[in-house]
Amino acid sequence: MVNSNHYSEFRTQSKKGILVIYINQIYGLLKTFWILLFLFIQKFSKFSEVSLNYIYLGIVFVLLFFLVRAFLIFKNFQFKIENNHFILKKGILKKNIIEIPFDRIQNINFKQNIIQQIINVYELNMETAGSAKAEISIKAMSLAHANDLKNAITIFDKSNQKSEVFREEKPLLKIGLLELLKVSLTENHFKSLLLLFALLVGFYQQINQLFESSGNNELVDDFITENTSAIQTSIIVVLIFSILLVLVGVFSSFVRVFLTHFNLTVFIKNDTLEIDQGLTTKKSIVLKKNKVQHITISTNPIKEKLGISFITFTQAESGISKEKQKTIIKIVGCKATQITKIKNLLFPDENLHDFDNNHVDSFYKTRLYLRGFLALLLINIGFFFGFENHTIFWLNSILLPILVFLTELKFKKRTFLFSDELLQINYGTIETHQTFLPFYKIQHVSLTKTIFQERKNVSDVVFQTASGKLKIPCLKDSEALKILNFALYKIETSQQSWM
């Protein structure tokens, strides 16, 4: 039984929150100024004793300052529940009061980083769609108090008829280490490689600044020049380098999947999903059915052989804050029966198997080929100016068939179908994606076209939801107009709320 009386008066989080806030501040400081710390250690022997004493005194002052600041943040961070609203007071010099109705809260997440795991406290985060200012993060709560607060908000409905949360004893989905390995092998390794590359670029920029400040920046430039010349003059080196990149991408995918989805467990609770996962940072996400805007079920040939897919749940995004983009929650390693249960929870009595699959116009294929050949042309220009050995152009005999294959595959997968209440949009190239969007979640629908589409009498149908836009490209104008009119009719006659 939920006891919300614990929160009828303003209260603070656990006193351990002072330590969590303090460590977070110190970590942010070190993350910003780690180069200065590195330089200090490097030139430690060159400082005089007097200078070192001043430096130590400055460090002590900074540590004390952030300790006092952490205490004031903790002391002034107070919250309570009143009239089905969550009310928060916070601030040191500038005081803020935030009041959020329960029905505006999209989901409530638990999180534990390494420090929070050591001192046995949980961070509770509340997310809304309306404003970045309504983002609540309580840094330190005991598990009992965090569950109490979460349940008091989760079981809320407009009639307040529910008094207890039901949770299935057996989880809908539980992913072990072997299943995580299968998931990582079927991930988009190119995406993992790009993430790793972005991290390395950021690290290189900081290292380069460090060498420039010490007057040794030519060492980095010479190293890059020598290795670039070696790559340019040998196709074998290019192939070996490519293989190494693939291996690094696979390893990066495994690390990313393992850290993010470790011990992934999914429970069904009334009209919500509870998702627990994470290793270094443990997360527990409560996903409300009515807050989900649309879902996407994704798979690829390897995943199909293993009998698994992954589902992404897209929630409303804030139009006010650029920092807060659409909220996407992902469940990996789902089997067909588990996907069916989740679809039945979100879209009861909706079955699209008896409806016809519709293809887009052939103009879409023409556009794909034009874009593909333009990309291939740019690659060849890069070959010409970047490599002295022009035998590299033989790679076109591989790239051209790949381009044709991927274009035909992408066109073939670009389909859609719909019932009276539900729209399904299919797309993808190597991966296959199926997005399910209830018509009552659509806020606006429109037809758009370029000057090239104008000549061919084709249009794009664009559906605007609270989580962004979904599009069916390149339909004949007559067919696009029928879909537009049907969607507008469903929007105007629907009695269901999109949130």
Confirm whether pTM is higher than 0.85: no
- The domain limits of the chain are 4-165, 180-261, 363-410
Residue whose tokens read 């020598």: 226
- Residue 158 pLDDT class (50, 70, 90 cuts): very low
Q: State how far the alpha carbon of 8 is from the alpha carbons of 3, 80, 83, 99, 208, in Å.
A: 10, 6, 9, 14, 55
Comparing 67-76, 155-164, 452-461, the range with the smallest average pLDDT is 155-164
The C-alpha atoms of residue 217 and residue 125 are separated, in whole angstroms, by 44
- Residue 160 pLDDT class (50, 70, 90 cuts): very low
State the chain's mean pLDDT as an integer. 82
Helix residue spans in 262-362 (DSSP H): 301-306, 336-346
Tokens in use for 10? 């303003």
Contact 138, 123 (CB under 8 A): yes
pLDDT at 204: 59
CATH placement of domain 4-165 = 2.30.29.30
Nearest alpha carbon to residue 184 among 276, 280, 302: 302
The C-alpha atoms of residue 99 and residue 82 are separated, in whole angstroms, by 10
Q: Which amino acid, 378?
A: L
The gap from C-alpha 156 to its chain's centroid, in whole angstroms, comes to 27
The C-alpha atoms of residue 471 and residue 446 are separated, in whole angstroms, by 10
Instruction: Tell whether the model's pLDDT for residue 54 goes beyond 80.
Output: yes
Report the pLDDT averaged over residues 279-302.
Answer: 88
